Structure 1
Amino acid sequence: MDLQSKTVKLRLIEEQDAEFVLKLRLDDRYNQFLSSVNPSVEAQKEWIKQYKNDEVEGIQYYFIIERLDGTPCGTVRIYDLKEDSFCWGSWILNEDKTRYAALESAFLVYQFAFEHLDFTKSHFDVRKGNDRVISFHEKMGAVKTGETELNLLFKITKEAVAKTKTRLMSKLI
């Protein structure tokens, strides 16, 4: 499946991405709302190996977000697959991102999950205080369903994403 938009694409993670992922996750500019990570490249490679096994089993997927010129600029994961819903997160974009990388990568995540994996909705959480990401998801059509001590819980439907994509992408073209 081709997961490419106007300025970015998604590709499945490989072991050689360990250093890039670790650099992102250890960078204080990006990790404020992420869980902590072992600072070892070898540990990251082992984690990626497990993801590759889970990918083959259809359990979860980890993507590198790249500009169309091949420059990596972020990560995103799809996990916690349920009957008709999936979760996504670990969404990080660095300074190499394109202007619309957030919007494009989100639509690519939904494209993969709705078209390739055949889900009809998504559930996800966003750390409290991560106001830009909360606002982004709400503008996409996500609805708050609850909260935990750390996170706000959301859901979004395939229909809501399609409606938002039609509305937003027509403005960008």
Structure 2
Amino acid sequence: MDLQSKTVKLRLIEESDADFVLKLRLDEKYNQFLSSVNPSVEAQKEWIKKYKNDETQGSQYYFIIERNDGVPCGTVRVYDLTEDSFCWGSWILNEDKTKYAALESAFLVYKFAFDHLGFQKSHFDVRKGNERVISFHEKMGARKTGETDLDFIFAITKDAVEATKTRLSSKISVSTP
């Protein structure tokens, strides 16, 4: 499946991405709202190696977000696949991102999960205090469905994503299969 938009694309993670992922996750500019990670490149490679089994079984997918010129600029993961919904997270974009990388990578995640995996909706959580990401998801059409001590819980439908994509079509372009 082609997961490419106007300025970024998604590709499945490989062990060789361990150093890039670790640098992102350890960078204080990006990790305030993320779970902690072992600071070892070898531990990250082991995690990726184990994850690849999940990918083969179709239980989760971890992507590197790259600019279309091949420069990696982030990560995103699709996981917690249920009968009718999927979760996504581990979404990080660094300073190498393009102007619309957040929008484009989000639409690519939805394209993958809705069109390739066949889901009609998504559920996900955002740490309380992560106002920029909360605002982003609400502008995309997500609705708060609950909360925990740490997180707000959201849900969004395929129809809501399609409506937002149509509304923003002049700014972004996500190719179709």
TM-score bracket, normalised by the shorter chain, equals: over 0.9
Aligned residue in 1 for 2:81: 81
Kindly indicate whether residue 8 of structure 2 is the aligned counterpart of residue 18 of structure 1. no
Kindly indicate whether residue 86 of structure 2 is the aligned counterpart of residue 72 of structure 1. no
1:28 Cα deviation after fit = 0.0
C-alpha separation in 2, matches of 1:146 and 1:61: 25
Give the 3-state SS of the residue equivalent to 2:122 in structure 1: strand
Q: 1:92-117: CA deviations, max 9, x gaps?
A: 00000000000000000000000000
Kindly report the root-mean-square deviation, in angstroms, between the aligned alpha carbons of the 2 structures.
0.8
Instruction: Letter of the 1:133 partner, please give it.
Output: V
When structure 1 is superposed on structure 2, of 86-95 and 163-172 the one drifting more is: 163-172
C-alpha separation in 1, matches of 2:160 and 2:83: 19
Instruction: Letter of the 1:29 partner, please give it.
Output: K
Give the 3-state SS of the residue equivalent to 2:169 in structure 1: helix
When structure 1 is superposed on structure 2, of 62-71 and 46-55 the one drifting more is: 46-55
Q: 1:21-72: CA deviations, max 9, x gaps?
A: 0000000000000000000001000110111110010000000000000000
Give the 3-state SS of the residue equivalent to 1:125 in structure 2: strand
Q: TM-score, normalised by structure 1?
A: 0.98
Q: TM-score, normalised by structure 2?
A: 0.96
Whether contact under 8 Å (2:146, 2:152) holds in the other structure is yes
Instruction: Letter of the 2:76 partner, please give it.
Output: V
1:170 Cα deviation after fit = 2.8
Aligned identity (percent) is 83
Moved over 6 A (4+): none
Structure 1 unaligned regions, length at least 5: none
Equivalent positions of 1:1-40 (< 5 A) are: 1-40=1-40
1:169 Cα deviation after fit = 1.6
C-alpha separation in 1, matches of 2:159 and 2:172: 20
Whether contact under 8 Å (2:26, 2:37) holds in the other structure is yes
How many residues are treated as equivalent by the alignment?
173
Higher relative contact order (CA 8 A, sep 6+): 2
Give the 3-state SS of the residue equivalent to 1:170 in structure 2: coil
Give the 3-state SS of the residue equivalent to 1:54 in structure 2: helix
C-alpha separation in 2, matches of 1:80 and 1:109: 14
C-alpha separation in 2, matches of 1:50 and 1:168: 38
Kindly indicate whether residue 129 of structure 2 is the aligned counterpart of residue 129 of structure 1. yes
Equivalent positions of 1:10-159 (< 5 A) are: 10-159=10-159
